[in-house]
């Protein structure tokens, strides 16, 4: 049983650690030529090994979900599709020109926004153009984020024919009152139909994204949402903590903050969800993710090859993730780069035949060491220490680790760290013990305001 005092203590702004160092500590500009050199090397090496990952950001949505902190553009004008597709294709060709051999694509994910804002015909054109001069790995995984309201059977069939086998539906909550306050009106019948269509076509993994901590959620309402979701038997479920960041997401200012659950109730919402999932055959993979034993995410976790990057948990351990589109982030293993956040600036760079990267970071040896420990903890629930690294931990990490152990979140020695049952609910806080950028920052209090709270 988890003490409800812990959520109060650890409910502090903390990164989600889809990268290390985290984005706020990246440089405000990037040496583009150096970035190109890194990409050339990493794309060649990755293609010769396991292949590369592609993330394509499709930012358009027809309506504004007020909880959403993603980079999106609200419009009902579908004529924007062609210009955006052409820019993505042009950006891909700028990267493609860096290497002579055809890149091997191991992983491809369409995120948003709402990828199914785009017509099936346009998605077919976009993806077939990008893949036309690539080699698709025999064990590839192609996935996309779908909105149950507008993911048609034609969308599903078109993407299936290209090679997609996983769809992740943004469900969030089935309760009508909660849907109204977050402006995400989505009848249960739409979700049921979207799942049925995907299964009939042959998708091997249908996933749900749910959110706890939304305005007006109660213990009873979230239990009902989860039971309704389980009836549809999604292969994996992400039960995300609502990130209240009104300083970066203006739409969240529309909420009455008194309608948001406090840290104690929010933890109860999560624990109620976890109890229902595990009672119905799902395994807690870590950091809010649950999967059925037949799903590849469960297999990756069980066999020790689970990975985490800007797409969240993934079964593919590629060393090169290339992000295309506005605000997309690329991870080259030894460097990060992020594209312009506005469509205007993104288009302006692409029209000049320039990469749209605007900020980034080149990792040093210390960063690479700490990144591995953070990945081990978030993916495997523990890590082994190398003796020569212990000197890096002074004084910040040791102080953090002692406090975490005192509160029953970890067991640790000079050889190993292991999460306890309680600690698995506070993975972000444990990872923070290895975030030397955050811990040693003179402006740490201000930097932390850039992150959502951990609970």
Domains of the chain listed by start with CATH number = 1-17+364-455 (1.10.10.920), 18-324 (3.80.30.20)
Q: Are the CB atoms for 315 and 107 separated by under 8 Å? A: no
C-alpha to C-alpha distance for 126 and 313, rounded to whole angstroms: 25
> What does the pLDDT read at residue 2?
66
Among 284-288, 341-345, 415-419, the minimum mean pLDDT is found in 284-288
Cα(316)–Cα(332) distance, rounded to whole angstroms?
Answer: 14
Residue 443 banded pLDDT, cuts 50, 70, 90: very low
Query: What is the Cβ-side half-sphere exposure of residue 403, based on CA atoms within 13 angstroms?
Result: 13
Which band of pLDDT confidence, cut at 50, 70 and 90, is reported for residue 60?
very high
**Per mean pLDDT, which range of 6-20, 231-245, 358-372 is the poorest?**
6-20
- What pLDDT sits at residue 217? 94
Give the pLDDT band (50/70/90) at residue 286: confident
> Residue 331's beta-bridge partner residues?
321, 336
pLDDT tens string 66-123: 888 788 899 999 999 999 999 999 999 999 999 999 999 999 999 988 999 999 999 9
Residue pair 298/237 in contact by the 8 Å Cβ criterion: no
CA distances from 32 to 42, 88, 116, 412 (A): 15, 18, 32, 41
Cα dist from 193 to 35, 150, 207, whole Å: 44, 11, 14
Q: Which residue has the higher pLDDT, 203 or 444?
A: 203
Residues 300-347 pLDDT 10s: 999 988 888 887 888 877 889 999 999 999 999 999 999 999 999 999
Q: Which residues pair with 360 in a beta bridge?
A: 27, 337
Retrieve residue 142's tokens.
Answer: 């192609």
- Tell me, letter by letter, the H, E, C secondary structure of 65-80: CCCCCCCCEECCCCCH
pLDDT tens sequence across 373-413: 999 999 999 999 999 998 888 788 888 999 999 999 999 99
Q: How much is the average pLDDT of 244-250?
A: 66
Q: Which of 280, 259, 289, 272 is nearest to 379 (CA)?
A: 289
């Amino acid at each position: 049983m988890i003490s409800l005092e812990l959520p109060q203590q650890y409910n502090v702004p903390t990164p989600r650690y889809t990268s290390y160092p985290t984005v706020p500590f990246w440089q405000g500009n990037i040496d583009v030529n150096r970035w190109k050199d890194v990409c050339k090397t990493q794309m060649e090496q990755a293609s010769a090994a396991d292949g590369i990952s592609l993330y394509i950001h499709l930012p358009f949505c027809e309506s504004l979900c007020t909880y959403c902190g993603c980079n999106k553009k609200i419009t009902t004008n579908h004529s924007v599709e062609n210009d955006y597709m052409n820019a993505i294709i042009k950006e891909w060709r700028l990267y493609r020109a860096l290497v002579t051999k055809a890149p091997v694509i191991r992983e491809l994910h369409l995120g948003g926004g709402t990828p199914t804002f785009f017509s099936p015909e346009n998605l077919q054109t976009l993806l077939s153009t990008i893949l036309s001069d690539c080699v698709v790995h025999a064990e590839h995984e192609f996935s996309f984020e779908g909105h149950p309201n507008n993911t048609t059977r034609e969308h599903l069939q078109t993407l299936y024919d290209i090679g997609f086998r996983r769809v992740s539906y943004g469900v969030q909550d089935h309760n009508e009152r909660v849907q109204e306050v977050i402006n995400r009106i989505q009848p249960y019948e739409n979700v049921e139909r979207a799942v049925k269509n995907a299964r009939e076509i042959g998708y091997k993994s249908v996933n749900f994204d749910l959110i706890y901590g939304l305005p007006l959620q109660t213990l009873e309402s979230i239990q009902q949402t989860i039971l309704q979701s389980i009836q549809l038997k999604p292969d994996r479920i992400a039960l995300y903590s609502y990130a209240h960041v009104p300083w970066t997401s203006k739409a969240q200012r529309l909420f009455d903050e008194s309608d948001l659950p406090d840290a104690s109730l929010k933890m109860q919402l999560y624990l109620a969800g976890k109890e229902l999932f595990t009672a119905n055959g799902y395994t807690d993979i870590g950091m809010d993710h649950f999967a059925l034993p037949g799903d590849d995410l469960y297999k990756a976790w069980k066999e020790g090859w689970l990975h985490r990057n800007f797409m969240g948990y993934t079964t593919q351990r590629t060393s090169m993730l290339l992000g295309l589109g506005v605000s997309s982030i690329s991870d080259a293993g030894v460097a990060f780069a992020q594209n312009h956040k506005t469509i205007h600036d993104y288009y302006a760079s692409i029209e000049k035949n320039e990469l749209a990267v605007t900020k980034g970071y080149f990792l040093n040896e210390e960063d690479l060491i700490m990144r591995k420990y953070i990945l081990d903890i978030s993916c495997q629930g523990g890590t082994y220490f190398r003796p020569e690294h212990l000197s890096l931990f002074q004084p910040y990490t040791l102080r953090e680790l002692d406090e975490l152990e005192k509160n029953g979140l970890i067991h640790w020695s000079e050889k190993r760290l292991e999460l306890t049952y309680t600690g698995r609910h506070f993975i972000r806080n444990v990872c923070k013990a290895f975030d030397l950028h955050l811990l040693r920052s003179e402006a740490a209090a201000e930097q932390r305001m850039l992150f959502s709270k951990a609970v």
